[in-house]
Amino acid sequence: MVPVLPIVPFEVPAGFERLVEMAYDLWWSWSPEGRDLWASLDPVEWERTHNPVHLLASIEPTRWEQIRNSEVVLDRYHAALDAYDWYHNRETWFDRAPNKPSGPIAYLCTEYGVHDTLPIYSGGLGILAGDHAKSASDMGIPLVAVGLLYRRGYFRQEIDLDGEQQHFYPVLDPRQLPLLPVASPTGGQLRVGIEFPGRTVHAAVWRLQVGRVPVLLLDTDIPENHPADRPITHQLYVAGREMRFCQELVLGVGAVRALAALGIEPAVWHVNEGHAAMSVLERAARLVEAGETLENARERIRNQTVFTLHTPVPAGNEVFERGLAAKYLGPWAARMKADLEELLGLASDGAGDRFDLGALAIRFARVTNGVSRRHGEVVTADWQHLIGGPAQAVTNGIHTPTWIGREAGALLVRKVGRSWPTRLLENPDLVEEARSLPDSQIWSMHRRRKELFLTYARERIRTQLARLGAAPDELRAVDQLLPADRLTLGFARRFATYKRATLMFSDTARLESILTDPQRPVQIVIAGKAHPADRHGQEFVRRIAELAASPSLRGYVVMLEDYDARMARYMTQGVDVWVNNPRPPLEASGTSGMKAAINGTLNLSVLDGWWVEGFNGKNGWVFGSAEPNGDWEQADAADAAAFYDVLENEVVPLYYDRDPDGVPVGWTERMKESIVSTLVRFSAHRMLKDYWEMAYLPLGTGLFES
Ligand SMILES: *Cc1c(COP(=O)(O)O)cnc(C)c1O
């Protein structure tokens, strides 16, 4: 769908040409055959980078010589190619769909978490966008995504001796990443220009290929731009408000222009969060230029647009000073044949003098939705006055092939076939068969994942300690850390205040007595980054680092630095229990708990977000209050006490109750219940099917047009 320039920064020997194609398609990241292939080419370099483009560029001629003569590598090459060709050529869910939209779906989002080598995501929103693209690819849904290429990525976290979070911004070189320049129909790399006061800012367009789905990334760091404009797309969630506005102008307007330049005519536009909302201004301006009235243009745009809100937290929604918007939006008002005041009014949130991108998107969307049933109600309460009725709800899901453990994935391939994610969607009852698996098999699969995670965690800790100057004996002692037979709890997420990362530590004496019980010990692994501008979140990091180093909790509480998608995969697959304690109703959905659940890692969570729908009484635990409570101190104390009660009275006893073979049969029953109840319902394939039925198909076939 999107042609690229054939610029590849390396050569591969004859017979291995198709390695290049596979290196530039993120399909490999969720394919066991794909991952095995790269690992076999150079295991050491692979473990270090997980980046096939970098890997191919770095292989020496002598190593190619060995590869050419290695049966193992050749076998893997052919197995991967076979899987890759099957993936791209098979009949898809979309092929079988009786009705189809009249064109592709444009998906706009400010962050994409497709793989850890491309750190252009911060958390849940980005991971969700990546999972959306991957599932659309699996299902054959023609989706084209657009975002920004943040050359300084999202920050990497280190925690110093005092528990202070340090921020490092990586420098991304597109030539070292699975990015290719999009070919302009007129030659060279495609660029789009966006009017800024007194100048035009240009953005180059790169393509990240995610299976069948192209993700177009706009990049202002190019020589055509004045040095003052080049950093516009440097940093995700840049702190400066005006810079953020400039970014979002590039995203919204640039997305529409890039697709138009490529001759792509979307049948549906899926706008995610307010960040991408200015796309509707460019679309309206084009329609008015083509002769429509503004009112008709708005109606036409509405009939093709779905807007998804992803958080009820104000920091997630984009609101600017009107004066700031006025500084930039004159050209769009002129093209829309509107007064600037009228244009600004389209983004009024009712309160009057603010430019609210959420309000703007709602005014131009036929469908506005939240990301869980409960969040749908919250969106309705906040926005009903603009939506003109209740909001819809599409509960988030995860790309199951990305997040499932290897052994379980292989089992699904054996029992259901290579297209298990879509086959299960069409035959959800098949997943019930997991109930007949022997408990010992479930347990040994989990034990394997747990060992792998704990080994990974120890290596991370060793690296952290070495950086802080620990001696060899201290570094060796890390081998004894995190014993595998201990009940292990995991907690990892962005340290946004409402996620209450320190709730578990409200009563350290009580916590200590639970964790250090010599018969039935418990350990907690924690990770998470606080936004560089979030002092509260950084205070959480400091507090936890301090507790983890304290004599009473040392060895029982461990904090890992630099949470990312790779760590999330290890952790959600490898701990026994996944803890979540947001302040209700602020967890719009949450998706890490889904990653845990499909792997049989049991959720111990406050009843909020997806868990309101996911919890069935047998597949994990709930604690605390599900109701909003304005008295935070009181709510926190009550929820913490409830957490200790459930942990002490239910979770710990069940885990340590073993049969003669050492298998905790009551526990494995719950694991099966967890897998069976979530593997299909909380998959992104189910989510795509919901968007298809609620928005993509009706909007894309003109159902709302009069
Ligand atoms: C899945 C994921 C998230 C989102 O999880 P929540 O439960 O919504 O916090 C955030 N960050 C990373 C790295 C993830 O993999």
Mutate which of 575, 591, 604 for ligand 1 pocket (most atoms within 8 A of beta carbon)? 591
> Ligand 1 within 6 A of 591 CB?
yes
Give which of 186, 192, 149 is closest to 171, Cα–Cα: 149
Mutate which of 494, 564, 594, 601 for ligand 1 pocket (most atoms within 8 A of beta carbon)? 494
Instruction: Give residue-wise pLDDT tens across range 249-270.
Output: 999 999 999 999 999 999 999 9
Mutate which of 495, 564, 592 for ligand 1 pocket (most atoms within 8 A of beta carbon)? 592
Nearest CA to ligand 1 atom 11: 123
3-class state of residue 404 by DSSP: coil
Mean pLDDT to the nearest integer, 587-604: 97
Q: How far apart are CA 136 and CA 212, in angstroms?
A: 8
Q: State the pLDDT confidence band at 37, using cuts at 50, 70 and 90.
A: very high
Give which of 387, 379, 442, 354 is closest to 588, Cα–Cα: 379
In this prediction, residue 352 carries a pLDDT of 66
Over the Cα atoms of the chain, what is R_g? 25
> Ligand 1 within 6 A of 52 CB?
no
> Ligand 1 within 6 A of 203 CB?
no
Is the predicted pLDDT of residue 706 greater than 70, yes or no?
Answer: no
Ligand 1: distance of its center to the CA of 38 in Å?
26
**Cβ-Cβ contacts under 8 Å for 581 (sequence gap 6 or more):** 499, 500, 503, 504, 605, 606, 623, 624, 639, 643
Ligand 1: distance of its center to the CA of 388 in Å?
32
Is the predicted pLDDT of residue 110 greater than 70, yes or no?
Answer: yes
Nearest CA to ligand 1 atom 15: 565
Residues 36, 210, 43, CA angle at the centre, nearest 5°? 20
Give which of 311, 305, 314 is closest to 354, Cα–Cα: 314
Q: Which residue has the tokens 């991108």?
A: 357
Atom of ligand 1 nearest to the CA of 122: 11
Instruction: Give residue-wise pLDDT tens across range 491-517.
Output: 999 999 899 999 999 999 999 999 999
Q: State the pLDDT confidence band at 315, using cuts at 50, 70 and 90.
A: low
Burial readout 319-328 (b: 16 or more C-beta within 10 A, e: otherwise)? bbebeebeeb
Average pLDDT, the chain: 96
In this prediction, residue 533 carries a pLDDT of 86
Q: How far apart are CA 214 and CA 217, in angstroms?
A: 10
Cβ–Cβ < 8 Å for 170, 121:
no
Give which of 303, 263, 262, 259 is closest to 282, Cα–Cα: 259
Amino acid at 302: R
Ligand 1: distance of its center to the CA of 472 in Å?
34
Q: Percent of the chain beyond pLDDT 90? A: 94
Ligand 1: distance of its center to the CA of 592 in Å?
5
Ligand 1: distance of its center to the CA of 596 in Å?
11
Beta-bridged to residue 4, according to DSSP, are 182
> Which class for 232: exposed (0-12), middle (13-18), buried (19 or more C-beta within 10 A)?
buried
Provide the token pair at 431. 């997943």
Q: State the pLDDT confidence band at 316, using cuts at 50, 70 and 90.
A: low
Instruction: Give residue-wise pLDDT tens across range 684-698.
Output: 999 999 999 999 999
> Ligand 1 within 6 A of 122 CB?
no
Mutate which of 125, 128, 493 for ligand 1 pocket (most atoms within 8 A of beta carbon)? 493
Is the predicted pLDDT of residue 387 greater than 70, yes or no?
Answer: yes
Say what the pTM is: 0.97
> Ligand 1 within 6 A of 347 CB?
no
3-class state of residue 652 by DSSP: helix
In this prediction, residue 705 carries a pLDDT of 78
3-class state of residue 172 by DSSP: coil
DSSP string, 252-306: HHHHHHHHHHTT---SEEEEETGGGTTHHHHHHHHHHHTT--HHHHHHHHHTTEE
> Ligand 1 within 6 A of 493 CB?
yes
Is the predicted pLDDT of residue 353 greater than 90, yes or no?
Answer: no
Is the predicted pLDDT of residue 319 greater than 70, yes or no?
Answer: yes
Sheet of 620-622: strands edge to edge? Answer: 557-560, 522-527, 487-492, 577-580, 602-605, 620-622
Ligand 1: distance of its center to the CA of 537 in Å?
16
Q: What is the DSSP letter of 150?
A: -
Cβ–Cβ < 8 Å for 516, 595:
no
Ligand 1: distance of its center to the CA of 591 in Å?
6
Instruction: Give residue-wise pLDDT tens across range 523-562.
Output: 999 999 999 889 999 999 999 999 999 999 999 999 999 9
102-397+689-700: CATH topology is: Rossmann fold (3.40.50)
Cβ–Cβ < 8 Å for 561, 157:
yes
Provide the token pair at 180. 């290719």
Residues 278, 280, 284, CA angle at the centre, nearest 5°? 125
Torsion angle (degrees, nearest 10) of CA 480, 521, 559, 316: 150
Residues 613, 615, 616, CA angle at the centre, nearest 5°? 105
Is the predicted pLDDT of residue 129 greater than 70, yes or no?
Answer: yes
404-682: CATH topology is: Rossmann fold (3.40.50)
| DSSP H/E element including 54 | helix 52-58
Q: Percent of the chain beyond pLDDT 70? A: 99
Give which of 333, 330, 247 is closest to 284, Cα–Cα: 333
Nearest CA to ligand 1 atom 3: 124
Residues 531, 320, 172, CA angle at the centre, nearest 5°? 45
- In this chain, the answer to whether the domains covering 102-397+689-700 and 404-682 adopt an identical fold is yes
| DSSP H/E element including 106 | strand 105-108
Give which of 232, 360, 338 is closest to 294, Cα–Cα: 338
Is the predicted pLDDT of residue 421 greater than 90, yes or no?
Answer: yes
Nearest CA to ligand 1 atom 4: 124
Q: How far apart are CA 524 and CA 367, in angstroms?
A: 42
> Ligand 1 within 6 A of 527 CB?
no
Instruction: Give residue-wise pLDDT tens across range 199-224.
Output: 999 999 999 999 999 999 999 999 99
> Which of the residue ranges 309-313, 476-480, 560-564 would you say has the lowest mean pLDDT?
309-313
* 387: number of Cβ within 10 Å: 19
Burial readout 198-220 (b: 16 or more C-beta within 10 A, e: otherwise)? eeebbbbbbbbbbbbbbbbbbbb
> Ligand 1 within 6 A of 490 CB?
no
Give which of 499, 667, 673 is closest to 588, Cα–Cα: 499
Atom of ligand 1 nearest to the CA of 595: 1
Could you state, in order of their start, the residue ranges of all structural domains in the chain?
A: 18-89, 102-397+689-700, 404-682
Atom of ligand 1 nearest to the CA of 567: 13
Atom of ligand 1 nearest to the CA of 587: 8
> Ligand 1 within 6 A of 568 CB?
yes
> Ligand 1 within 6 A of 124 CB?
yes
> Ligand 1 within 6 A of 130 CB?
no
> Ligand 1 within 6 A of 698 CB?
no
Beta-bridged to residue 167, according to DSSP, are 157
Comparing 307 with 533, which gets the higher pLDDT? 307
